[in-house]
Structure 1
Amino acid sequence: MGRYTFNLPDIGEGIAEAEIVEWHVKLGDMVEEDQQIADMMTDKATVEMEAPATGKIVEMAGEAGDTVSIGSMLVVIETEGEVEDDGHGSAERVDDQPADREGVAEAADAGPGMDVATVAAEDPGVQDNQVDTPRTEVSPKDGASIPAKEADGAPAKGGDDRHTPSDSAKPAERILASPAVRKRAEELGVDLADVKHQGEHVRHGDLDAYLNYGGAQGYRPAGASAKREDEAIKVIGMRRKIAQNMAASKRAIPHFTYVEELDVTALEDLRADLNKTRGAKPKLTVLPLLIVAIAKTIPDFPMINARYDDEGGVVTRHGAIHLGMAAQTDKGLTVPVIRNAQDRNVWQLASEIDRLANAARDGSIKADELQGATLTLTSLGPLGGIATTPVINKPEVAIIGPNKIVERPAFVDGVLEARKLMNLSISCDHRVVDGWDAASFVQALKKLVETPVLLFAD
């Protein structure tokens, strides 16, 4: 029998450690070679770790949310035979358990699902040392606590017939409740027999409903949802990265947000016409058209497409537009990057948006597709609201947020018409971008959007 120590390999990007996002195994599990055992996160990319050998998991580095240094032990696998070192771990031979320790080994193999009481039930010799703690019940008549076995008419363990209650003292019905609920009811002078409850036990929520509605308990208003228990969720993985990045952005960057209303009636008409003749091309949303407008506007406002190095005190105005596209996934917000957006037409942009969004949602997106953005576009689609104040993706200096398109009456050359309107938000780093610059950029963008033929003019 051997033991293989699998150390966390160098998974690129020049990182020193990775976070355990999720374990797919637990102590005592048998695993096959190449079976997925854990998900590890670096920056915003998640990497799957696979078992290097077949055997039993006997040691693990930590729990979800812990960090593991590159080269440190991730898991130890107990194998049947010798294991060849693959460069990411070390193998050693381990003698079998001595005969006089077989009982201890069997108890250890029982795993976390077997407790002392279970072992005792299988070994009569252990039962003599158990302490029998009788379950406590409450009489609905007077609230007095009596041992459960006494309530059944049988003497409690360790007692005799003198302590057995008479038949007249037996409760007509047992009321199940936790000690905390019983104590609270006693302090409030409430008879638990009068409290309606939906489950087998009277809970704090049932007691609250009884108190809130004067004891009448007609007792939850129609349509009201039941009270839920508090839930503690550990902030790990992508959610932790999002929290860290957003907090760093708000601490370091003095944000300001500028909002302007755009008339997108003509743009929407153009989009509808393009979709009618698209053939095998992807269906256009407003985003590819908006990206073309941004790409045509940026050359006159290079301070918008920039990154700010706080420590070096250097602002780099980028010639290429590597546009980050904020995408919502089940694990949180990711920002895939459209490389060289200025060189793509609307159909190419639509295809790349679909590809990156799908890759972000199914977890197949690559680490380098999440890095290097020079400007970010964030959209909530139909949930866009009236206006947003998006948070800048540090070290970028601006983020653009189109909002929901709504149809409203508006005056056009003195005539009231139904128009499709959309608010556009831009948040900027005030250390790099002045308010005049941001407003001028949006006004130039507005001209292109409201006269969409200019999007295709040289």
Structure 2
Amino acid sequence: MPQVLEFKLPDLGEGLTEAEIVRWLVEVGDVVAIDQPVVEVETAKAMVEVPCPYGGVVTARFGEEGAELPVGAPLLTVAVGSQEPVTGQGPASGSSSGSRAATATEPASGSDSASGNVLVGYGTGAPAARRRRVRPEAFTATATATALAPAPATPPATAPVPAAEEAPGPVAVISPLVRKLARQHGLDLRLVAGSGRDGLILRTDVESAIRVAEEEQIVTVAPSTPPVAASASRATGERIPLRGVRGAVADKLARSRREIPDATCWVDADATELMAARAAMNKAGGSAAAPKVSVLALLARICTAALARFPELNSTVDTEAREIVRLAEVHLGFAAQTERGLVVPVVRDAHSRNVESVGAEIARLTEVARTGKLTPADLTGGTFTLNNYGVFGVDGSTPIINHPEAAMLGVGRIVPKPWVHQGELAVRQVVQLSLTFDHRVCDGGTAGGFLRYVADCVEQPAVLLRTL
């Protein structure tokens, strides 16, 4: 007898608690293999293809494309051991790149029916506690049938109505986050028209209803609570939810400013010799198809050399233990602007790489970032960040530390400026370097020494040869 197994949204790592469904890769009735990607989701850090640990026939999908689900919420159910595909329709819709098969391959039974090898914090080696035996004709999504039942007739808009969680009867909403949002604003979900399939209420529907209610200065609330008028002083401009990448960046920067007593020092440096050295390296590369050495790669290598001399800045602070933790490896983050917002990919073990290796990894991660395919692993674990804001045509800035790191080096644009060189006024390629550091891990002398060493390597690249 086939078993219907429920696959929940697994832990995606790094404290991520929710994800938005971007694209379903399978439909109800499709045959899936163990570890086959079934859905593409977007977290606050990256786009992730989620593999299913079971092999069998998809019997139900939970959530529309665009819906946000918390970790642990059901994603889909799979009939393990089924010989025939399912013809019923599940509760969710959307375009799919998967194809509907005419017959199903038989997945292995017992411990072989699951991979036990999914994402962080999720294993399937042992039998699932929620497994249940059902009749083959019951493979359609009975678990969510009530969630999609027609809503009762809409009561008069002027009459007070119960809050969403108190309203009798089913409501066409799946996401717990949508229910929570409605509850926080005292919104009765029975009054919301869903734009999803079969009237499914999406988060965008709730947000739109909240905006309309605020504009009318009336929010529907429970009978025990008097109507709440919208604040007359509240701004009425366009409202953009702080979620996804933008929300994650906002939370991290705000936490950095709350917890880290940061300070910034800066210096102008003559980068003429560095640019000449780069040109010589690229010329020595021979073939025009050979990868070019970038300025960012050179600065990254300078940073790793500087951190070897000033390890205090490659550390983090354990606030609970009141300890500074100096880190042995340098995992160098670099800021990259993408269509999805600012991201900071991490070059692993940058301290053990030469300029070419660092440059190749930066180029690879930059390309992956542009396509939106960075994984959470690509974006976490950094110990020091390099921020080249000169690409935006600005000279200087005061970087905000990428929590929980201890420092960030900012680099402005390299431009011709008047400069005293060897006792005479000349036009030189000048760059401003700024270092923001956690004053708990070191004092200004250490930070100044680090920045001065970086500037010396920029002005005289031969200085760097001593540490290679």
Query: TM class, shorter-chain normalised?
Result: 0.5 to 0.7
Partner of 2:74: 73
Answer yes or no: is the 8 Å Cα contact 2:31–2:57 preserved in 1. yes
CA shift at 1:315, angstroms?
Answer: 0.8
Matched, 1:19 2:21: no
Cα drift, residue 348 of structure 1: 1.4
User: Could you tell which deviates more after superposition, 324-333 or 423-432?
Assistant: 324-333
Per-residue CA distance 1:386-405 (angstroms, 9 max, x = gap): 21111111111100111111
Please tell me whether residue 457 in structure 1 is matched to residue 466 in structure 2: yes
| 1:51-450 → structure 2 map (5 Å cutoff) | 60-61=62-63, 64=66, 66-70=68-72, 72-75=73-76, 79-80=86-87, 90=131, 92-93=134-135, 231-279=238-286, 281-450=290-459
CA contact (8 A) 1:377 1:400 kept: yes
Q: Distance in 2 between matches of 1:333 and 1:290?
A: 20
Give deviations 1:180-210, integer Å, cap 9, x for gaps. Answer: xxxxxxxxxxxxxxxxxxxxxxxxxxxxxxx
| Secondary structure in structure 1 of the residue aligned to 2:388 | coil
The structure-2 alpha-carbon separation of the partners of 1:417 and 1:95, relative to structure 1 and needing over 3 Å to count, comes to closer
The aligned residue for residue 7 of structure 2 is 7
Q: CA RMSD in A?
A: 4.0
Classify the secondary structure of the residue corresponding to 1:44.
Answer: coil
Q: Is the 8 A contact 1:305 1:398 kept in 2?
A: yes
Contact 1:306 1:315 in 2 (8 A): yes
CA positional deviation for 1:412? 1.9
Tell me by how many angstroms 1:274 deviates: 1.0
Partner deviation per Cα, 1:320-362 (whole Å, 9 max, x = no partner): 3221122222222222222222222211111111112222322
Task: Give yes or no for contact 1:8–1:68 (8 Å, CA) kept in 2.
Answer: no
Amino acid at match of 1:456: L
Give the Cα–Cα distance (whole angstroms) in 2 for the partners of residues 64 and 113 of structure 1. 10
- Contact 1:64 / 1:236 at 8 angstroms: preserved in 2? no
Amino acid at match of 2:361: E
- Secondary structure of the residue that 1:354 maps to in structure 2? helix
- The 8 Å contact of residues 19 and 71 in structure 2, kept in 1 or not, is answered as no
- Distance in structure 2 (CA, Å) of the matches to 1:366 and 1:316: 26
Contact kept in structure 2, 1:3 and 1:76, CA below 8 Å? no
Cα offset, 1:431, TM superposition: 2.0
Q: CA deviation at 1:434?
A: 1.9
Residue 334 of structure 2 contacts residue 386 of structure 2 at CA under 8 Å; is this kept in 1?
A: yes
Provide TM-score, normalisation by structure 2.
0.61
Query: Contact 2:48–2:375 at 8 Å: present in 1 too?
Result: no
The one-letter code of the counterpart of 1:246 is: L
Q: Is contact 2:58–2:76 with CA below 8 Å preserved after alignment?
A: no
Cα deviation for residue 33 of structure 1 reads 4.0
Partner SS state of residue 404, structure 1? coil
Deviation, structure 1 residue 18: 3.9
Q: Aligned partners of 1:106 and 1:310: how far apart in 2? A: 50
Q: Which residue of 2 aligns with 1:156?
A: none
Deviation at 1:45, TM superposition (A): 4.2
Give, in angstroms, the shift of residue 258 of structure 1: 1.3
SS at match of 1:457: helix
| Distance verdict in 2 for CA 1:326–1:14, change over 3 Å | closer
Give the paired residue count: 333
**Cα displacement string for residues 53-104 of structure 1 (whole angstroms, at most 9, x for unaligned residues):** 66675x635885744233x32246893389977567756445699xxxxxxx
Distance 1:3 1:112 in 2: 33
Query: What percentage of aligned pairs have identical amino acids?
Result: 32
Note the C-alpha offset of 1:295. 2.2
Q: Secondary structure at the match of 1:234?
A: coil
- How far apart are 1:296 and its partner, in Å? 2.2
- The C-alpha deviation readout for 1:345-382, integer Å capped at 9, x for no partner, is 21111111111222232244343332222111111342
Distance 1:443 1:385 in 2: 21
Structure showing greater Rg? 1
> What is the SS of the residue equivalent to 1:319?
coil
Helix, strand or coil at the partner of 1:422: strand
> What TM-score, normalized to structure 1?
0.62
- Counterpart CA distance in 2 for 1:43 and 1:106 is 32
Structure 1 Cα separation of the partners of residues 312 and 28 of structure 2: 57
Residue type at the aligned position of 1:276: K
Q: Determine if contact 2:42/2:48 at 8 Å carries over to the other structure.
A: yes
Q: Distance in 2 between matches of 1:364 and 1:340?
A: 21
Q: Distance in 2 between matches of 1:406 and 1:270?
A: 16
Query: Are the aligned partners of 1:4 and 1:79 in contact in 2 as well (CA < 8 Å)?
Result: no
Counterpart-to-counterpart distance in 2, 1:405 and 1:8: 50
Instruction: Give structure 1 stretches of 5+ with no counterpart.
Output: 98-104, 117-228
Aligned partner of 1:60: which letter?
F
Separation in 1, partners of 2:391, 2:366: 17
Sort the Cα spacing of 1:312 and 1:106 in 2 relative to 1 into closer, same or farther, 3 A. closer
- Cα 1:409–1:244, aligned 2, differ >3 Å: closer, same or farther? same
Distance 1:402 1:106 in 2: 58
Letter of the structure 2 residue corresponding to residue 251 of structure 1: R
Contact 1:295 1:341 in 2 (8 A): yes
The answer as to whether partners of 2:20 and 2:69 remain within 8 angstroms in 1 is no
CA distance in 2, matches of 1:49, 1:299: 39
Q: CA distance change for structure 1 residues 435 and 62 in 2, over 3 Å: closer, same or farther? A: farther
Letter of the 2:245 partner, please give it.
M
